Amino acid sequence: MNKTFPNNFADFYTDVKEVIKRFPEQTTLHRKNINTFSVEGGSVRVRTQKSAPEFEQIPKDYFEKLYCKLADEKTITRNQMRESLKIFRTAAISTLISKLPYIGYSIKPIRFWVKN
């Protein structure tokens, strides 16, 4: 896994999948729910309390939009993910990216930034 923010989306997405391998079950940032993640056929999938017992795919383009925003502006809020980028499953995605070593985050409000 990269220690610094990757220079390309492919490496970022690989890091996200590595987080899933290390932490397949994760509590959401507000500590309200547990999400279970998997990688199937190269796709990221999540099982939430709402979707259980089924896993639902998180589209790869959601991660790509997020990567581009972080690469350009170095910061993003969860509200911006939903409103500006039209990314859904933000609680699950937020949980995953908070585990990346080069991403810092705050809870109130939920905000992410590139550490380096």
The CA-based angle 21-87-39, given to 5 degrees, is: 20
3-state secondary structure 20-85: HHHCCEEECCCCCCEEEEEEECCEEEEECCCCCCCCEEECHHHHHHHHHHHHHHCEEEHHHHHHCC
Give residue limits of the domains in the chain: 9-114
Residue 95 to residue 26: CA distance in whole angstroms: 7
The predicted model gives 55-80 an average pLDDT of 97
The CA-atom distances, in angstroms, between 11 and each of 8, 47, 86, 88, 99 are 6, 24, 23, 22, 15
Model-level pTM? 0.93
The predicted model gives 2-7 an average pLDDT of 93
pLDDT for 29 equals 87
Tens digit of pLDDT for each residue in 62-71? 999 999 999 9
Between 50 and 47, residue with greater pLDDT: 47
